[in-house]
A and B are shown apart, each in its own frame.
Chain A
Amino acid sequence: MNILERYHAMDYAPAPESRNEADAWLAARDFSKSLFIGGEWKAPAGGKTFDTNDPATGKLLAKVSDAGDADVDASVGAAAKALPKWSASSGYTRAKVLYAIGRAMQRHQRLFAVLESIDNGKPIRESRDIDVPLAIRHFIHHAGWAQSLDKEFPGHKPVGVVGQIIPWNFPLLMLAWKIAPALAAGCTVVLKPAEFTPLTAILFAEICERAGVPKGVVNILPGGPDAGAAIVNHPGVQKIAFTGSSEVGKIIRKATAGSGKKISLELGGKSAFIVFEDADLDSAVEGLVDGIWFNQGQVCCAGSRLLVQEGVAEAFIAKVKTRMARLRLGSPLDKNTDIGPLVDRTQLDRVRGLVAQGASQGAECWQPDCALPSTGFFHLPTLATGVAPANILAQEEVFGPVLAAMTFRTTEEAVELANNTRYGLAASVWSENINLALHAAPQLKAGVVWINGTNMFDAACGFGGYRESGFGREGGREGMHEYLMAKLPLGAPIKPAAEAKVAERADGESLGIDRTAKLFIGGKQVRPDGNYSLAVADRKGKLAGEVGLGNRKDIRDAVSAARGAKAWGEATGYNRSQVLYFLAENLSGRADEFAARLVQLTGASAKAAREEVELSIERLFSFAGMADKFEGRVHAPPARAVTLAVHEPVGVIGIVAADDAPLLGLISLIAPALAMGNTVVAVPSQKYPLLAADLYQVIEYSDVPAGAINIVTGKTAELAGVLARHDDVDGLWIVADSDVCKSAEAESIGNLKRVWTSNGRSVDWTSDLVGGEAFLRRAVEVKNVWVPYGD
């Protein structure tokens, strides 16, 4: 076409980004030695390589070293060797290194962007304007956390050697999200990039060499699933940080059960994109473009479920279709490309398969008549309407440019539909009514909520999921906690609970009036479902009484009551605080009785028993005081927006207490959970359950709403297992023997509940370390609500 023809046509023409520098970099490297271990470039011990291809053409880019077990072992060794010096280095020293990495990346940002687009297929506009700048932002932001660590996180220490496994959808960005906080915290890392996209991680390792990162602090291991598994299972690794599928996340949770490894999981999503009738509809359409058609839809937090209010649904869908027709599919390196190829043939096949299945289940799948390149793994943007909630396209994460649309009538229904998923990563809310938007945001079960926007990210604002979207946050203060350990006063190993051997009372011993201790469920004393009892021995082994022997059905009922006690989570912090103060007041009124019971059951001295009761009251008082104080934060990301990091209750928390300090131990776990608005199903000490039976009487007249606290007495191992396997339990805190702890962690994968265990050890409940933020932090989910503003 000559210029005059172009003048008349006014079409776009290819505007390719040059790949010369990237090709030169590729040509100059020996990828058979691209394991970066202890500051050296190594070939894998097994000598294997894997191919990484250009998804736009299918052509081979490089044959890259494929790390095996021995290489993982060497890397963990290098990281462990580097750990003492790195973690002991000053915050300022680490800050300088992080800063140097960030600046060095900035100096090579175009090379990073081009490599990323070649390797992953994402449009150059995205890698250039979003992925790479945000990755740099993470390093520079975390330099400040490194330097202020001692002041901002007193009493914490780095968790140690960290294994990090990242996905192929944002290779460099996910690397930054993982490595920046780890280095800031003083950890050393072994990171495995995804097999599809190892290139920018290799370039990053080169940057580390130049930026003065000490040898062994950062180890980069290109490799496949076996290398990933070797990292997860390596005993020298103290923490696993994983971003990827929920399926693999669950495998990791199970594999690390009982190992004491800290884990954070950033998993899948099926995020809702809610358009209310008073939204700026044209802007909401653009929000979808940035939501589901960003990175070909291969985004864990993609707004893949469109929920649009009935009154505007027809008009909105028409706008969406018009907009879709203007999306341009093409070479990732063309600056005019909106949608590139999917990362690999397998991914394309998977997306096609899901669309076909969705259609066969009744969805109407519409695609615009866009030009499609002749090679590469391209998939047309797809809009599925008439999608029932049960349709596979509404249920499963497609990880492709496929939008499933549904309508709703009321705000309540919108929230219900949005939450009708196993996932809980993100949500978008579109309305020009701030009252409505801020009414909906807290009701959405999602770690991130964007109001009138989507896919906004920043290093200062935590990102992470609820439910099966994983746990832990990346970015912000809460992200730093994932790489730090607060000191907990753990003691001796706990022995498995044994059935009490109870001797009959001596003939004629004074009895008083017989008391039947029951379970406490939904605010009522109830008999156990099985109608069996458990004998409780006193300190001399004689029968002190009997408690109900709770079983799985009692746990089921208790969880159901806890789930139903919504008023507690919705109450104000001040309100909860007064209830907990009142509970303390009433416990205080019966302090003598509880002390006597402790003496009777545990054989503690009168003084020690009195101290435990007093400390229990004090602890209740303390957490009552924190109910309206352990608050979220307001972030100021580099945009005209505020991000509200809101503390929300985790939900229903199962609590399993041990025999040590049976009253104080139980209260030390229940109180922080309640203070933050959680409802509780508590399994008290198997040996001394009568204390809990006494406690529910106090609860009964302390204005605690029915269902907020439920107590099921019985056998620790059995009941802990039922709680772990219950998919409507959101959190589980266990102090028990190591088998119970391990199996609870392993069994928690059904819904990826947040589990904390003492890992088989006892806890010194008298310590101040358990009275503060350690448990408060576990009692909340941080939800980041992005609120852009301006008029």
Chain B
Amino acid sequence: MTKAAADLKTEAPSVTALPVRVAANAPIEAHGIARNPGMKLDLGFLESMRNVNRSALERRVASLTKRRSIKADNQAAWLLRSISLMDLTTLNSNDTDERVRRLCAKAINPLRADIIEGLGLGDEKIRPAAVCVYHPFVATTAEAVKGTGIHVAAVSTSFPHGLAPLRTRIQEIEASVADGADEIDVVIPRGLVFGAKWQELYDEIVAFRAACGEAHLKVILGTGDLATLRNVMLASMVAMMAGADFVKTSTGKESVNATLPVGLAMVRSIRAYFEHTGYLIGFKPAGGISTAKASLDWLVLMKEELGRPWLEPELFRFGASSLLTDIERQLEHHLTGRYSANHRHAMA
């Protein structure tokens, strides 16, 4: 068991926060999280994860968001935290280099100067953790964020459906890594889950991980397509066994994207994997998280179910595009007591 994992065992109020904004690719000692080496596909362990009761999970998330209330200064602080956990994302068919540069500029300077000053942030740089783009824009992004500590994330493996030939998908990862991506968000072919082809799914993800090299691997399950929370739980577990650094809910292109019950199933899979192996896996909900309030619900979920370490960008990310603007408005409101408007904040 790693040192961080040992700390976690004793748990909760006394856990010290992980150092903030250490590059995810920094050596292990820098942030205390050993990278998940994966494990043998263990179908017995997988089977033991089958018991997921949707009604109970729905009740849990319904009361969870009512059991915790983040108000006043704490709300401002937690919203800043949401910014720092963000993969600022553009995944549109009409993206261009210029559009991506604009997004990077926003990532580098996410908040208006008067808000930074008003909140008393001083020299503390609070920025999204990564910018997330399609492969053609990886090089542009890497150039734009160079030296800022902001990661370059590329969606890959024939995002969003993942149905290109395996060779093609692996080549796409290699190409993005070569262009400067240090985080790769891959999708799984959802059909493998419906067919319970766990070995095939496992082998593909192992291959993705190998192609990533030092880049971190986020595995998108496409939860909106998977139909049941049980499928989500099982797919998540296979992804971790195969060496995922993060598991991620959705592509943002499914009809239903990140929901709290899905998130709960996945964070419980992360907990089970941790209890089983001692490795800490990251979680990234993506798609449909567009309000400051919704981001707080997710933070509460992480803190309650997994604990403080999962409020660091090494272990938690939001995939989001419009969330940042809503947070800016809320922060302005916090300072002035007046409700703000979108156009008062620089667009991405």
Which A positions have Cβ atoms within 8 angstroms of B?
A: 1-10, 12-13, 15, 125, 129, 278-284, 286-287, 290, 322, 325-326, 335-336, 338, 369, 371, 432, 452-453, 640-641, 788-791
14 example contacts (A-B, Cβ-Cβ < 8 A) are as follows: A4-B120, A4-B124, A6-B74, A8-B17, A10-B78, A12-B70, A13-B73, A125-B66, A280-B57, A281-B51, A283-B56, A432-B53, A452-B56, A453-B56
Q: What is the minimal beta-carbon distance from A381 to any residue of chain B, in angstroms?
A: 14
- One of B20, B58, B67 near A790 (C-beta < 8 A): B58
Which residue of chain B has its CB nearest to the CB of A8?
Answer: B17
Further pairs besides A10-B303, A280-B53, A283-B60: 17, Cβ < 8 Å: A3-B76, A3-B119, A4-B120, A7-B80, A7-B124, A7-B126, A278-B51, A279-B51, A280-B52, A283-B53, A283-B56, A336-B69, A371-B13, A453-B55, A640-B55, A640-B58, A791-B230
Q: Whole-angstrom distance between the alpha carbons of A432 and B56 in the complex?
A: 11
B230 surroundings in chain A (CB, below 8 A)? 791
Q: Whole-angstrom distance between the alpha carbons of A321 and B225 in the complex?
A: 35
Interface: B59 (CB within 8 A): yes
Q: What is the minimal beta-carbon distance from A92 to any residue of chain B, in angstroms?
A: 36
A9 surroundings in chain B (CB, below 8 A)? 17, 77
Find out whether the CB atom of A287 lies under 8 angstroms from the CB atom of B51. Answer: no
Main secondary structure of the interface of B (DSSP, over half): helix
Find out whether the CB atom of B56 lies under 8 angstroms from the CB atom of A10. Answer: no
- One of B63, B66, B77, B303 near A7 (C-beta < 8 A): B77
B55, B304, B311, most chain A CB atoms within 10 A: B55
Find out whether the CB atom of B70 lies under 8 angstroms from the CB atom of A15. Answer: yes
B20 surroundings in chain A (CB, below 8 A)? 8
Known A-B contacts A7-B77, A10-B308; the reply to A790 vs B126 at CB < 8 A is no
B59, B121, B124, B126, most chain A CB atoms within 10 A: B59
B58, B74, B121, most chain A CB atoms within 10 A: B74
A279 surroundings in chain B (CB, below 8 A)? 51
Which residue of chain A has its CB nearest to the CB of B50?
Answer: A432
Find out whether the CB atom of A3 lies under 8 angstroms from the CB atom of B53. Answer: no
A325 surroundings in chain B (CB, below 8 A)? 11-13
- One of B56, B121, B268, B304 near A3 (C-beta < 8 A): B121
Known A-B contacts A3-B80, A286-B60; the reply to A129 vs B55 at CB < 8 A is no
Find out whether the CB atom of B120 lies under 8 angstroms from the CB atom of A3. Answer: yes
Top 4 closest pairs, chain A to chain B, by CB:
A283-B56, A6-B77, A335-B69, A15-B69
B74 surroundings in chain A (CB, below 8 A)? 6, 12-13, 15
Known A-B contacts A6-B77, A322-B11; the reply to A641 vs B51 at CB < 8 A is no
Q: Whole-angstrom distance between the alpha carbons of A6 and B71 in the complex?
A: 12
Find out whether the CB atom of B55 lies under 8 angstroms from the CB atom of A452. Answer: yes
Q: Whole-angstrom distance between the alpha carbons of A641 and B303 in the complex?
A: 29
Find out whether the CB atom of A13 lies under 8 angstroms from the CB atom of B72. Answer: yes
B77 surroundings in chain A (CB, below 8 A)? 3-7, 9-10
Interface: B165 (CB within 8 A): no
Interface size on B, residues (CB 8 A): 47
Find out whether the CB atom of A290 lies under 8 angstroms from the CB atom of B63. Answer: yes
Interface: B228 (CB within 8 A): yes
Q: Whole-angstrom distance between the alpha carbons of A1 and B71 in the complex?
A: 14
Q: What is the minimal beta-carbon distance from A610 to any residue of chain B, in angstroms?
A: 60
Q: What is the minimal beta-carbon distance from B60 to any residue of chain A, in angstroms?
A: 5
Q: Whole-angstrom distance between the alpha carbons of A238 and B160 in the complex?
A: 70
Q: Whole-angstrom distance between the alpha carbons of A510 and B224 in the complex?
A: 92
Write out, one digit per residue, whether chain B residues 225-256 have a CB within 8 A of any chain A CB (1) or not (0): 00011100000000000000000000000000
Q: Whole-angstrom distance between the alpha carbons of A156 and B11 in the complex?
A: 61
A283 surroundings in chain B (CB, below 8 A)? 52-53, 56-57, 60
A125 surroundings in chain B (CB, below 8 A)? 63, 66-67
B51, B124, B228, B299, most chain A CB atoms within 10 A: B51
A12 surroundings in chain B (CB, below 8 A)? 68, 70, 74
Find out whether the CB atom of B51 lies under 8 angstroms from the CB atom of A280. Answer: yes
Interface: B81 (CB within 8 A): yes
Interface: B112 (CB within 8 A): no
Write out, one digit per residue, whether chain B residues 68-105 have a CB within 8 A of any chain A CB (1) or not (0): 11111110111011000000000000000000000000
A641 surroundings in chain B (CB, below 8 A)? 55
Q: What is the minimal beta-carbon distance from A371 to any residue of chain B, in angstroms?
A: 8
Interface: B54 (CB within 8 A): yes
- One of B56, B71, B80, B308 near A788 (C-beta < 8 A): B56
Find out whether the CB atom of A6 lies under 8 angstroms from the CB atom of B73. Answer: yes
Q: What is the minimal beta-carbon distance from A380 to any residue of chain B, in angstroms?
A: 14
A640 surroundings in chain B (CB, below 8 A)? 55, 58
Q: Whole-angstrom distance between the alpha carbons of A13 and B74 in the complex?
A: 7
Write out, one digit per residue, whether chain B residues 254-274 have a CB within 8 A of any chain A CB (1) or not (0): 000000000000001001000
Interface: B337 (CB within 8 A): no
Q: What is the minimal beta-carbon distance from A123 to any residue of chain B, in angstroms?
A: 9
Interface: B195 (CB within 8 A): no
Q: Whole-angstrom distance between the alpha carbons of A464 and B33 in the complex?
A: 52
Q: Whole-angstrom distance between the alpha carbons of A6 and B77 in the complex?
A: 6
Interface: B122 (CB within 8 A): yes
A280 surroundings in chain B (CB, below 8 A)? 51-53, 56-57
B54, B77, B311, most chain A CB atoms within 10 A: B77
Write out, one digit per residue, whether chain B residues 23-43 have a CB within 8 A of any chain A CB (1) or not (0): 000000000000000000000
Q: What is the minimal beta-carbon distance from A323 to any residue of chain B, in angstroms?
A: 9
B59 surroundings in chain A (CB, below 8 A)? 286, 290, 453, 788
A432 surroundings in chain B (CB, below 8 A)? 50-51, 53
B78 surroundings in chain A (CB, below 8 A)? 6-7, 10
Which residue of chain B has its CB nearest to the CB of A16?
Answer: B71
A10, A278, A322, A336, most chain B CB atoms within 10 A: A10
Q: What is the minimal beta-carbon distance from A296 to any residue of chain B, in angstroms?
A: 15
Q: What is the minimal beta-carbon distance from B146 to any residue of chain A, in angstroms?
A: 26
Find out whether the CB atom of B56 lies under 8 angstroms from the CB atom of A287. Answer: yes
Q: Whole-angstrom distance between the alpha carbons of A378 and B81 in the complex?
A: 33
Q: What is the minimal beta-carbon distance from A340 to any residue of chain B, in angstroms?
A: 13
A5 surroundings in chain B (CB, below 8 A)? 77
B303 surroundings in chain A (CB, below 8 A)? 10
Find out whether the CB atom of A1 lies under 8 angstroms from the CB atom of B73. Answer: yes
B52, B69, B230, B308, most chain A CB atoms within 10 A: B69
Q: Whole-angstrom distance between the alpha carbons of A26 and B58 in the complex?
A: 38
B50 surroundings in chain A (CB, below 8 A)? 432
Q: What is the minimal beta-carbon distance from A46 to any residue of chain B, in angstroms?
A: 44
Find out whether the CB atom of A15 lies under 8 angstroms from the CB atom of B71. Answer: yes
Q: What is the minimal beta-carbon distance from A16 to any residue of chain B, in angstroms?
A: 9
Q: Whole-angstrom distance between the alpha carbons of A336 and B71 in the complex?
A: 10
Find out whether the CB atom of A286 lies under 8 angstroms from the CB atom of B56. Answer: yes
A335 surroundings in chain B (CB, below 8 A)? 68-69, 71
B119 surroundings in chain A (CB, below 8 A)? 3-4
B72 surroundings in chain A (CB, below 8 A)? 13, 15
Known A-B contacts A290-B63, A336-B68; the reply to A4 vs B122 at CB < 8 A is yes
Known A-B contacts A13-B73, A790-B54; the reply to A7 vs B268 at CB < 8 A is no
Find out whether the CB atom of A129 lies under 8 angstroms from the CB atom of B66. Answer: yes
Q: Whole-angstrom distance between the alpha carbons of A414 and B83 in the complex?
A: 50
B63 surroundings in chain A (CB, below 8 A)? 125, 129, 290
A789 surroundings in chain B (CB, below 8 A)? 55
Q: Whole-angstrom distance between the alpha carbons of A278 and B71 in the complex?
A: 40
A452 surroundings in chain B (CB, below 8 A)? 53, 55-56
Find out whether the CB atom of A282 lies under 8 angstroms from the CB atom of B268. Answer: yes
Find out whether the CB atom of A3 lies under 8 angstroms from the CB atom of B55. Answer: no
Q: What is the minimal beta-carbon distance from B201 to any residue of chain A, in angstroms?
A: 21
Which residue of chain B has its CB nearest to the CB of A640?
Answer: B55
A3, A10, A125, most chain B CB atoms within 10 A: A3
Q: Whole-angstrom distance between the alpha carbons of A244 and B304 in the complex?
A: 35
B53, B119, B121, most chain A CB atoms within 10 A: B53
Q: Whole-angstrom distance between the alpha carbons of A405 and B216 in the complex?
A: 43
Q: What is the minimal beta-carbon distance from A451 to any residue of chain B, in angstroms?
A: 10
Q: Whole-angstrom distance between the alpha carbons of A789 and B66 in the complex?
A: 23
Which residue of chain A has its CB nearest to the CB of B334?
Answer: A3
